[in-house]
Structure formats: structure tokens, C-alpha cells
Structure 1
Amino acid sequence: MGWVLKSGVSTDNGVDTNNGLGLSVDPEPVVYNTDQTTSITTETSPPSSPPPVPPSTPHVVMMTGSTQSYRLPATLQPLHYTLRIKPLIHGDQSVSGTVDIDLEVIQPTSNITVHASRMAVILKGITLEGGLGNSPIPVPSITHFSTDNVRNFFTAHLSGELGVGRAVRYSIPFVASLKNWGEGFFTFRYNDTGVERIMLASIHHPSFTRQAFPCLDEPQLKATFTLQVTRETNMTAISNMPIAETVPVEGEPGWVVDTFQKTPMMSPHHLLLVVTPFSYVEVVSKTGLPIRVWARSETLNETSYLQQVIVELLDYLETYTAMPFPLPKLDLVAVPADSPGAYGGWGLVQFYSDKKLYSATANSTDHHNYLTVLTAHQLAGQWFGGLVTPRWWSDIWLSKGFATYLHHLASAHVLPDEALVKNRPFHMMHMVMAVDSKPKCHPVHLNVKNPQTQRRMFDSITYHKASALIRMMNHFLTPDTFTKGVRSYLKTHEYGNADQDDLWEQLTQAGHEDGILDTHLNMSTIMNTWTLQPGYPVIRVVRDSTGTSATLLQERFIVVKGNRKRDRHANKWWIPVTFTNQTTPDFTDTRVQVWMSDTESQIQVNQLPSADDC
């Protein structure tokens, strides 16, 4: 690329991969590296046809050690991104491009702040112009830039104020590295029948989109996206939406530009890209959705079970949610990486080991069970996460908990005779109870203030305890009422954001309408005791001599080292209580018979069956 290193340590493409900030020592910097206390300049023109160069380049002010909020200023709402990129997969492992961000001012501001990390920003190519339907008043000029290496902020300071309702287009050319495994856009090498090949994949949540391109990298800042990818003709580009147009690159034989269809409103971390030489097989869902399974050509015929089960799982989830799949297509890519798990992007699922899709025991029951559960989880996230996205990472359980709960239901539906699949939710619940009984566990809803806490949220509490709480709500509200509330939640907030209070509102309304929840109760009062504090209660039942009444006592169950097995903390919960008897045993009716509130350490329950009936 012709980079010249001025100071510090750089990768071979001039894009550093350490944390920090830097400023060029040149009197008129051309490139600013948002990642390292390093400065670099370019000997050639910025790539990808950047916007017009302003007459002079504003200077950069470096700010470090910020103790302020990690959240972006609440002044701008992104409306649309146009992202044009050229990943040099077989070259120097860099990706160059330009992002145009259409913004609406929602509070008066004299600066524009975006996230950018581990990339070089080409200062001379940055422009700020008026957006659509704008006033004739000129847009203020950019006087200088500032950066914050702690919060990954890149801020343009303006000569004047932008008023409420003003629309602007902010264009930033950049160059990033493809060498950061599992973060942003990245490449990796794999063996294909003795031949080493390379491909590009992407992982963007919880805070890696800012390493792929400059953006407002917060989940509540949804926008539409148009993606243009310049690629080699022997590769295929796959993203959230179908390709709208492919044209050759003039003067560059062997290269083409794919323009993808405009996305619906979605969070920045949902924009994904795979560039690969893979082949695919296509199946069609029962509602006509095209589904492509991508893999190495010699192993594609071993994905037959996935092709079958994906159709059944989608049918179940569309029925459960009463909503069709929210995008016009679905791609599943078997990434040949030796890494656990999968990444369920919206409309594009990446399995991070193709052995998960096929293996030497691909026809075994265990493999089918595993693949069914894994696929069901990624598909459930298309609605709970893609269609309706948690407003902030504090409520990520609304995505991961529901995906876990629904992968249990969907898998059991597809494989009704498999005991392992049926018993999985109870096994996972017992596992997370061991975690949740420790003194220093975190609640399901945690006040997330920084990226470190964001990453902490992706654990068994968020996935499995949340799933158990969802299952509990399904029981005490009854499946019909609970499903009614969940469907209303999805419909009310489709293509938008939500937090747990939005879910409580819809479930409360359904419970009141169906007469399942007393009108003096609401789900917020009940469920906040389960999501806002850690742990869970243990209930002691002390019956009287006749057995017709009992005293119920609650306290937090907590395991500590030493001789003490319990530690009485002040935590209390709203607990739904139900019971049956030996004469007419009914374990299917799970409606609440008695509530134990969070202000009660004990309650008296009367009209129980006598001791002789038990």
C-alpha cells in the first residue's frame, strides 16, 4: 500500500492492532491512525474514490484517560449508511473503503462523534455536507478532530451549531486490518483438499463493528444500510440481503462490485459480510423463503440433515411468533475454523467449524441433536435480536434468553422422541443454578457501562437463567397467554428496539385481558425481583399437624465456603406457588394459586389437601 511509518510499531499493512492513540508528526497530517500512538502517512491516493478533498486538513487533538460515559452523545440519529469497501483478501490483508452516514440532528450540537478503532482514518477525505430536504443554510465547516482512545470516539468539531431536524451526510474514508481474528471483518486460512485457501468472515457484537468501519456503534442507533463490496471474480460475497447488482470494475480485470439490496432498519452490529470461494445448495422453506447452505464443495453433500431440519425449524418459529421470517433470504455458512460456537447474524448465520454441519458421524443421533439445537438457537435470534433488538446491552437477555428458550421448544418439536433434547432445559437450569448460588454472581439485567461489562454479559446467566425465567413465565401465565404477550411484544417493536419494561408491558396486558393475572399485579413488579437482583430463593414448607395448612418461608440460597451452607441475604422475590394432591394429581395446570411477595419472608397457605390425601 506504500505506507511510511513515522513512529511506533506497525503491521505490514501499516494498520496497527494494539490499543492506544496517536497523532501524525507531519504539520498537515493525511492519515490518522485511531488505534496506536503511531502516525502514518500515505504515499499514494486514498483508496476507493474518496469524497472531494477540502482545501486544508483540520488538525487532530488527542484525548486520553476519559472518565466520562462510554455512550455516544444523544444528539444524532443515523438514518442510512452507504458502505463501500474493497477487502484485499489475497493481498496485504487490509480493507479500504468509505462510509457515508446520513444523520438527523435530534439535539443541537456543534460536533459529530462516531466510533472508530484499529483503523486508519484518511483526514483529507472527510467531508460534511447537507442531507436530503435540507435548508439552504450552509453546513458548518470542520475546524478540527479529537479522539478518545478509551471510548473509541472520533469527533469532528464544527465551526457552528447544527439545529434540531437538520440532516447531514458525514463521509469518512478509512483503511482497516483484516488480521484481528473474531473482531470486525477478518480473514483466515484453511486447508481445502491439500490446498491452502483464504476467506473473509465477520463478527461485530458486542463492540467490534467500530473495527470494521466508522459508525455509531450502539444497538439502539438503528439505520438502513447499503453495502457495496469490491471482490475478485473467483470469490462470492454474502451479506444480510440479496445482491441487487454486480458490475465489473473498469480497468481492473478479475474484479467486480456487488451492490446489496438496502437493509431494513437494523443495528450496526448486524451488518455482516462473508467473502468465500464456497459452493452452495439451496432449499426453500414452507413459506417460500430461499435458504442457501454454503460449504466447501467436496463436503456440501454432507449437509443434507441441515437442509432438512432448517425448513422444519423455520416453520415452527414462524408459527410460534406468528410472523414470517423478517428478511427476503437466509444464508448459512460452514466456516472451516477450529473454533466453538456459531454467530447468528441477521439473515447470515456463520457456523465456526464446518464439523458442526457434517462429520464422520454425521448421521448419528447425537450429531443430529447437537446440530438441531445449535441451528434452532441461531434462527430464534432472527426475531429476538434481529427483528427486535435490545435497546442496550443491559437487556441482552431479551435476545439470548429467548433464543435459548426457543431452541429448547423448537428442537423438542422437531425431535419429539429424543430424551436428551427434552431434558436439556432442565440440565442447563441446574447448571446455571450452581453459578447463581455464588455470592458474587451478576443479575440477568446488569447496568452495562463499558465494553468490558458488555462482554461479561455473554455467559450462562444471560443465556440459561434467562431461559429458565422465561419458562417460569410461560408456566404461571399459561402458554396461550404468554405466547399472546410475546407475539404482541414482537409486533409492537418490530424493526426497532426494546427493553425488559416493554416485554413486561405486553405480558401484563395479555395477562389482564385473559384473566390470568390479577388486575392489581403487573409483570414489572413480579419479574424485576428476578432480573434486577442476583440469585434465587429456596422455599421451606412447614405443614401443620393435619396437613391442611402450611407455612412457606423464602430466603436466598447461596453456597459459601466453610461450614455454613446458607447465608441469609435480604433478597426476596415474587414467587408463584401452585400445588396438587394425590387424589386428583394435575401437574399440567401451572396457574398461580398463591403469590408470595418480595415483602414477605413467610406466608400461610390454607385449604391444602389433608395429610391422608398426600
Structure 2
Amino acid sequence: MAKGTCISKAVAGGIGVITVSSVCGLVMMVVMFQVEIARNRPLVPPRPTKPPVIPTDLPTNLRLYDYLIPESYKVVLQPYLYAAITNNYTNQSFFFKGNSTVRFKCMKVSKTILLHVHNLNLTNVEVRKSGTNEKLESRYTIHYNESNFLEIQLNGQLSGNGTYYDLFTTFEGELFEDLAGLYVSRYTEKSKDEEEEDEERFLATSMLQPTDARRVFPCFDEPALKAVFNITIIHRPGITALSNEMGASGSTEIDGEEWFVTTFDSTPIMSTYLLAFTLANFEYISIPSGANMDIYARREAIAAGHAEYAAEITRKILIRYENEFGLKYPLKKLYQIALPDFSVEAMENWGLISYQESSLLFDEDTGSTFDKEWVATRIAHELAHQWFGNLVTMRWWNELWLNEAFATYMSYTGVEAADWDLKDLFVLREIQPAFQVDSLNSSHPLSLHENDIQTSSEIIELFDDVTYSKGAAVLRMLSAFMTDEAFMKGIRIYLNNFKNNNTVYNDLLECLQKETNLDLEGFMSTWIEQVGYPVITIITQTGETSQEQFLLKPGVGHNIPWQVQITYIKSDDSGLKRDLLREKGPVRWQQFQLKDQWVLANINCTGFYRVNYDEENWNKLLMQLEKNRHMIPLINRGQLIDDAFNLARAHRLNVTIALSLTKFLVNETEYIPWESGLKNLDHFILMFDRSEVYGAITKYLRKLVTGLYEHFEEYTNNATIPEDHTDQYNQVNAISVACAHGLPKCIEMATSLFMDYKNGTNMIHPNLRREIYCSAIAAGDEDDWEFVWEEYQMTTVAAEKDKLRYALSCTKEIWLLNRYLEYTLDPSKIIKMDMVSTINYIAKNVAGQPLAWDFVRGKWSYITQEYGAGIISLGSLLDGVTKRFSRDVELEELKQLQRDQDKNEQGFAARALEQVIERTEANIKWVNENKQNVKDWFNGEL
């Protein structure tokens, strides 16, 4: 075992006492320590911190950094362009150079500056700290892709915290003829001496919407990045330079040559896309009682008085808006300019509004009342933009409707100041076109997510009937829902609260909500945020009412219900009633449970929805129309036809009911029902004018229109027009349909008047020229076509040129149509802005449609390369040349074009291509199912 250890008892006791004392002392020390800690907490030593992350990578999307905020620009542009070549020694140069200094605020430490540039050659880039002028060493990269980024990498860094910097760039660019950015345009000016030849003239002008300011100078080219602009333009003598604000000019010498320098006042804070520049040898007239309000145009047009009507009505419309919106027009000047070649009908540049000539100029001698109305409508639209879009701007393009829908809707109020009452035509011009696009799965909501809209192509595709017309229709519906008075009060709050700022849809909603107790968010979200619109179905035997998404091509759609205010009348009670449908249904509404009455819903089409009924109610409405059509409100007589035909196209209604709804037109003389009927019967013509069904359709239409033609025959034969504006439209309808479908006295009238025209006596009223020229060319020969072509080349009045250009597309001669198509690619024959509409005119002609499609398909690469960046109507081109498509081979050709685009990574008109493919699929299915029924019905009516 182990050895033992022993100590004495005394020692052991002493050790025990010491141990206990020690333990007690330690315990006491711990307690005292904890008490002291409680009284005086020790400081926690700081944790090591990581240095801040300074962004150096490009954004994951195509948007600029949100922490670089531009405040002001100083831009100097020097185009080396002459307005005219006066001698053989002058070299014309389509070239410009310039410099820009943008002052921006940096809110976050960064080593990178991002802004936009496109198709410019940068010759110098400098970054300096504002105030100290300290230069920051940097290098830059231009990204030649969809981003158009100018990336500037700094050796040091931007400080953040609101520090200001100046970015100075010098650059050079080419003046292309592509109608985009700062571009050059040619036109002809009549010589003052009749013995001398007409003279070619040049001008430079701009079209910067939506993303082409970057083609003129490096900039933060997004609508929310507003800034103040100080513009200087150095230009040749004999040229007037115009921009957004007032300018002052003086001459100077540069490299031994005389130049003029025009310096413009500072603009208000504004978006880049609203800038405008024009350099031209134009004349102007001033608007009476409007300080600094001028209209510019070609010298010949001003001298002929073609700008006088615009001058007469501009101030009236402007005053109307100032009173309606409760805000004065905010700029010191308002110039409007008529351009010979401009890619869109008009552009609302702040303080310098640009128009196609036919949208601003009116010739009393050759202009129709429709031309006059068009000028008033375009001016009203662009002036409305001075508040909606310019003063208050959408934050990003995904909510473009906040600009365009308001301008469209308010223009119907604006034209009233110019003595045009067009509000009843809203259903034809806005609602029905929007219905067509929005009944496709490939449509889009009014408000999309910002990340869904990135590229220039995606932005351009939003300039469509959904954004303009559906947006306007939804605003009209909202105004009726909350009352017009409450709506306008809310709009005034919106404009006043957000002037000089950017907004999103919720900002508008909050302002409107202040003027009503109604649940606007619940009502409006369904119309703004989801695609499509509903069809309301009413079964009068049971009163069951339901809704679902209306789709032209049967599909899944979505199951989200809309909030729908249903307005209605009954045959035994003329009072208007309203009910709100929130559910998808069906719900049983006792008020719709009827026996001997009919019910009519969506009175005056104030709601953006279609209505379907049980067959019994449809038949009661049919009988009412034939017995006493005036019991049905005028607008609804047109909308019943449109609803029925489109319900039939969507396989929701027997096609014979829709066709039977046109029978009452034999006694109808009002424009709205006739126009609605003709537009829908035109779809039958498009589907069947290449088949045996067309003969019966032609005979029916000839029988139907004879009474209408005779109603206006006395006016037509006397070269006069009725007093009422809508009757004037219907007179044109009567001539168009009667001549197109072989009514002998119509064709005789047209050819006789045209022969007088050829012999030097043009007694055709301007209202009727378009259709009479067309009818005569259709019935005529090559000599007639050549005569009209010569007239087209000689006239300088844009509206008259448009009538002649349309008539040339009406010939049945294939070789003439093919030659005309080739002319569209020659700007000396058909100016660029008219290329799309001319091809579409030819495609409207049954003889020209396959030629136009083959032409577009064969030239697609050239067209998109030459026109894709500057003209936003490629979608319109696709739509126009494919309206007749209803065959499998045509569908396959469309899909092949789509595959070719995907293969070449092209995004031109991608949404429009999807839409025409979807429409063609719907047409194929509908024709296969309905051809025999349609043929039998028309034969039965002869």
C-alpha cells in the first residue's frame, strides 16, 4: 500500500481558519466589485470597423445611380450646317460639335460616375470639384450596348454628403437624317422668281423623346433627373436658332468665318427629353395678345396664312387650361414650329412645341373641316402636356400614362375653347381602339413595375393605344365615378403639390382621395395595375350578373375581379341607375331579373368594359333598334354594335346576332352608329375579301348604304357639305362605302368630278377629296395615277399631300403598287415620316396587302436599321400590313419573323409582333368556325 502523511491538529485547525477567512474575503471582493460595476459601467471597447464599400461595378439593370443628382447644365452646340447652298464653293456639312458642363450633387461616396451618351465622339472628359475647381484624375469607357452608359472611373473618389462636382465634356456628332436626336432635314422652297427652279433648303431640329438627348450631349437621360439647362448655339448666318427659352443673338468670328451665337435664358428645372433645338431659315407670326407666343414655319406657309388658324386658337386653349388647372403657364414664352419631316404628329417640348406640318398648319382653300379639327386637337393635346408631363412628370417610363393619358383626356376639354364639341366621339376615338389592343394577352397594364421597362425599345413600345386611349378612358370613368367637380379639384391639388417634380400613380391617387369619401384605391387599382378589362354578363331570366376578363383569343387570362360601376336603364323606366360590382360572380341582382323589359348597361360607355346579355335580351334590344332606335342613347347605339361584334369574335355570342344589329342602320343617319358598324363590318371584309363570301358582303353593304348616300346626295352633287360636324363625317362614310362597293351613281359622281379636276377645275369640296380621289384612282388607269403623282409632287400643303398620297394607294394595278412601295424608301419621293402610313395605305387595298407584307418582310432589316431608332411607329407598320392575316401560312411567316428577330437579338416592335401573332391566331380560329354561318347570313339578306 502507499506511504501515509500526517500533521498536528493545531496546524490543521490554523489552516482551516485561514482558508475560511480567504474564501469569505474573496466573496466579499466579488460582491463589492459587482456593486461598483453597477454604479459605474465600464466603457465597451470599440469593435474594429470595416471601410465603407465604394461602388465601382455597373448597376445590374440599365438605370443610372440614384445618388448622383444633376442640378444644372451648360451646353454649347455648334452645327456646321448651312440653311441653303448659295454657290458651288460652299460645302454642306452634316456635323456638329459642342461642350457640356453638368453640375451634379453626390450623395454617396463613389469612385464611378455614370451617365448616358450615344453616337457621340468624346474628345475630352474632366471632373472637377465645384468651388475649388480641383481636378480629379479619371478615365472613361463608353458602353456600346443598350445601356448607352458613359462610365467614368476616378483615381480618387467622390466625397458624398451632398458635395457638388462639375463634369466637363467636349464632343462631336453627325447630323443624321434619321429623325432622332439632333437631325438634319431637307425641304423645298418655292423660288420667288417663277422662271427659276425651286430651291433646296436644310434645317436641323431635335426629337429627344424618349431617350435621345444622349445623342446630342452626355447627360443623365432619365425623366426623374431634372435639371436647369443653359443652352448656347453657335450657327451659320441666315439661320434662326430656337430652344426652350428666350434667346439673344450676336455675330462673332471663328477661324476667319462669320458665325452667330445665340444664348438662351435658363430653363426651369426639367427632364432631358423635353429639350428642343431648331436651326432653320423660317418665318413666324405672333399670336394675338400672347406675349412671346409665336408660330414658326416655312416662309411660303407663313406668307400664305397657313399658321393663322393655329395662332387664333392657341391662346384660347391655353387660357382654358389655366382656368381649369388653377396654374398659369409657367414659361416666359411659347413657340410652336411646323416641321416638314418629323417622326411623330407632335412633341410637347417645353416652350418649343414641334409639329408635323399637317398638325399645325391649315389652308383655308384646300383644307377640310377634318384637317381643321385635327389641328385644334393636336394643339390641345400638346398644350395639356405643358402641365401634364412638363410641369409634373412621371418618375419613370413605366407610368408614361400619367403624361399621355391626361393629355389625351384633357384635350377634349381644350378643344371646346376652339369651338369643337368632340366629347361624344370619345367612344370611337379612344375607347374602341383601346378595347382592341387590351383584349389581347400580350397587352400590358397602365402601370408596370419599373424593372419591367429598361431598354429604349421597351420604352418606345409603351407609346400605344393602351397608354394613350385606355388611360384616357380610365380617367373619364374615374371622373364619372367621383363626379367631374371632385375629380378636377383633385387634379388641381395634384398639379400644385407636384409642380416641377416627378410623380408615381399613388401621388395622383392621394390627391384625388382628398376630394371624395369613396374608396378610390380599391376602385382604381384593378384598372391601373392589371392587364385587360372585363366583360359583364347579365342573364335577365335570373338576374345573375358576373364578370371575367375579355380576351379576343380564348385563353386563361386572370381571375382577379375589377370594381365595376354598372350604369343601366330599363325599357319601362328611363331613369339612370348605378350599382357597383366587386365580385367575379355570378351574383343575383333582382334589378336585372326581367320578363317583358330589356336592360341596357354601361350608358354612354362611361365604363371601360363590354356587356353581354342572354340571347332573349339581345333580341329585345334588336327589336327596339328597328322599331324606335331613339329609345337607345346615341353612343350606346354605336357601342351595342361594337360589343356584339367583338363578343362574336371572342366566341361569346352568335355571329348572326351581331350581324343583325347592323340592319337598323338602313334607317340611321347618325355618325356614331354608322362609324361603329362600318369599322366592325370592315373586319368581315378583311377576313373574307379573298374568298367567295365577299360577293354577298358587297351586295349587303351596297343595299345598306344606299339610303345614307341618298340622304347626303344633294350636298355631294352640289359640292357642299352639311352644317353639323358629325354629319360631315357621315357624308364621307356614305361616299366611301358606296363607291367601294359598286353603287353606280357614286362611281359616276367620283369619276366625273375627278375628270373636272384633271381638266383644271377642282370643284371637289376638301372634305370629300380623299375619298373621291381614291374612288377615281381605283376605277381609273395609269394616266390617272400619274396625274395624281404629279399633283402630289407639286403641292406644298401637307394636308392636301396626305389626301393625294392616300389616293395613290387605291389603284388595282399591281405594278403601280409595287413601284409605289419602292418610293417609300426614297426620301426624295416619300419623306421619312410618311413611310409607315404609306405602306399601311397600300396594305389596306386588297390588291396591295400581300405586296406590302412581302415588301416589309423583305426589307425588315433595312427598315429597322434605318428607322428603328427614330420612328416609334414600327408597331403601327406591323399592325397595318397584317390586319387581313387569317391563314396558317401567314401565321407561320409572322413566327418566322419573330424567330429571326430573336436570332439577331433585335427587340424592334417585339410587343407589337406578339400582338399581331395573337390576333392572327384568333382570326384563324374565328374564320374556321364562322365562315359558313357568315356566308349563309349575308346570302339570306339579299
C-alpha separation between the residues in 1 aligned to 2:235 and 2:505? 42
CA contact (8 A) 1:557 1:567 kept: no
1:601 aligns with 2:601: no
1:83 aligns with 2:85: no
1:416 Cα deviation from its structure 2 partner? 4.1
1:534 aligns with 2:531: yes
Where 1:254 maps in the other structure, the secondary structure is: strand
Larger radius of gyration: 2
C-alpha separation between the residues in 2 aligned to 1:412 and 1:493? 27
Change (3 A) 1:205 1:339: closer
1:422 Cα deviation from its structure 2 partner? 3.7
Q: State the partner residue of 2:550.
A: 557
1:290 Cα deviation from its structure 2 partner? 2.8
Where 2:287 maps in the other structure, the secondary structure is: strand
CA contact (8 A) 1:217 1:269 kept: yes
1:578 to 561, 567, 576: 567
Change (3 A) 1:600 1:364: closer
Q: State the partner residue of 2:432.
A: 430
Q: Which runs of 5+ in 1 are unaligned?
A: 1-62
Change (3 A) 1:486 1:68: same
TM-score, normalised on structure 2?
Answer: 0.52
Q: State the partner residue of 2:491.
A: 486
Q: State the partner residue of 1:53.
A: none
CA contact (8 A) 1:75 1:108 kept: no
Change (3 A) 1:248 1:568: closer
Letter in 2 for 1:552: T
Q: State the partner residue of 2:447.
A: 445
Q: State the partner residue of 1:46.
A: none
1:406 aligns with 2:410: yes
Q: State the partner residue of 1:128.
A: 127
Where 1:511 maps in the other structure, the secondary structure is: coil
Where 1:202 maps in the other structure, the secondary structure is: strand
CA contact (8 A) 2:358 2:371 kept: no
C-alpha separation between the residues in 1 aligned to 2:324 and 2:178? 36
Letter in 1 for 2:271: S
CA RMSD of aligned residues (A): 2.5
Pairs within 5 Å for 1:186-585: 186-193=183-190, 194-244=198-248, 246=250, 248-249=252-253, 252-284=256-288, 288-300=290-302, 301-337=305-341, 341-353=345-357, 356-359=360-363, 361-416=365-420, 422-446=424-448, 447-512=452-517, 517=518, 521=519, 523-543=520-540, 550-560=543-553, 569-580=558-569, 585=574
TM-score, normalised on structure 1?
Answer: 0.79
C-alpha separation between the residues in 2 aligned to 1:363 and 1:421? 23
* Runs of 4+ that moved beyond 6 A: 607-614
Where 1:219 maps in the other structure, the secondary structure is: coil
CA contact (8 A) 1:342 1:352 kept: yes
CA contact (8 A) 1:530 1:573 kept: yes
Letter in 1 for 2:468: Y
Q: Which has the higher contact order (CA 8 A, sep 6+)?
A: 1
Q: State the partner residue of 1:157.
A: 153
1:202 Cα deviation from its structure 2 partner? 0.3
CA contact (8 A) 1:537 1:555 kept: yes
CA contact (8 A) 2:540 2:594 kept: no
CA contact (8 A) 1:102 1:167 kept: yes
CA contact (8 A) 2:339 2:354 kept: yes
1:390 Cα deviation from its structure 2 partner? 0.8
CA contact (8 A) 2:285 2:296 kept: yes
1:224 Cα deviation from its structure 2 partner? 0.3
Q: State the partner residue of 2:64.
A: 72
Change (3 A) 1:507 1:249: farther
Q: Deviations over 1:82-109 (max 9, x none)?
A: 0011011134211101100001002221
Q: State the partner residue of 1:95.
A: 96
C-alpha separation between the residues in 1 aligned to 2:521 and 2:144? 38
1:569 Cα deviation from its structure 2 partner? 3.6
1:166 aligns with 2:150: no
Change (3 A) 1:481 1:289: farther
CA contact (8 A) 2:404 2:467 kept: yes
1:205 Cα deviation from its structure 2 partner? 1.0
C-alpha separation between the residues in 2 aligned to 1:457 and 1:361? 38
Where 2:458 maps in the other structure, the secondary structure is: helix
Q: State the partner residue of 2:816.
A: none
CA contact (8 A) 2:405 2:472 kept: yes
Q: Deviations over 1:398-417 (max 9, x none)?
A: 11111111112222453345
1:271 Cα deviation from its structure 2 partner? 1.2
Which one is further off, 389-398 or 144-153?
144-153
1:147 aligns with 2:146: no
CA contact (8 A) 1:336 1:354 kept: no
Identical counterparts, % of pairs: 27
C-alpha separation between the residues in 1 aligned to 2:423 and 2:376? 9
CA contact (8 A) 2:358 2:375 kept: no
1:342 Cα deviation from its structure 2 partner? 1.6
CA contact (8 A) 2:362 2:375 kept: no
CA contact (8 A) 2:360 2:379 kept: no
C-alpha separation between the residues in 2 aligned to 1:479 and 1:284? 32
Change (3 A) 1:343 1:95: same
1:368 Cα deviation from its structure 2 partner? 1.1
Letter in 2 for 1:127: E
Letter in 1 for 2:483: T
CA contact (8 A) 2:540 2:593 kept: no
Q: Deviations over 1:39-69 (max 9, x none)?
A: xxxxxxxxxxxxxxxxxxxxxxxx9xx9930
1:527 Cα deviation from its structure 2 partner? 1.6
Q: How many residues align?
A: 519
Q: Deviations over 1:538-592 (max 9, x none)?
A: 11123466xxxx43211011111xxx5x7664242121233455676455x8xxx
Change (3 A) 1:308 1:252: farther
Q: State the partner residue of 1:7.
A: none
Letter in 2 for 1:100: T
Change (3 A) 1:445 1:239: same
C-alpha separation between the residues in 2 aligned to 1:402 and 1:156? 39
Q: Deviations over 1:293-337 (max 9, x none)?
A: 111222212221111111221122212211111211111111122
Q: Which runs of 5+ in 2 are unaligned?
A: 1-56, 83-91, 191-197, 599-942
CA contact (8 A) 1:415 1:421 kept: no
C-alpha separation between the residues in 2 aligned to 1:571 and 1:503? 23
1:213 Cα deviation from its structure 2 partner? 0.6
CA contact (8 A) 1:232 1:255 kept: yes
Where 2:515 maps in the other structure, the secondary structure is: helix
CA contact (8 A) 1:408 1:425 kept: no
Q: Deviations over 1:424-446 (max 9, x none)?
A: 44333112201111222122223
CA contact (8 A) 1:78 1:102 kept: yes
Q: Which structure: greater helix fraction?
A: 2
CA contact (8 A) 1:489 1:506 kept: yes
Change (3 A) 1:313 1:399: same
C-alpha separation between the residues in 2 aligned to 1:109 and 1:337? 44
C-alpha separation between the residues in 2 aligned to 1:355 and 1:437? 30
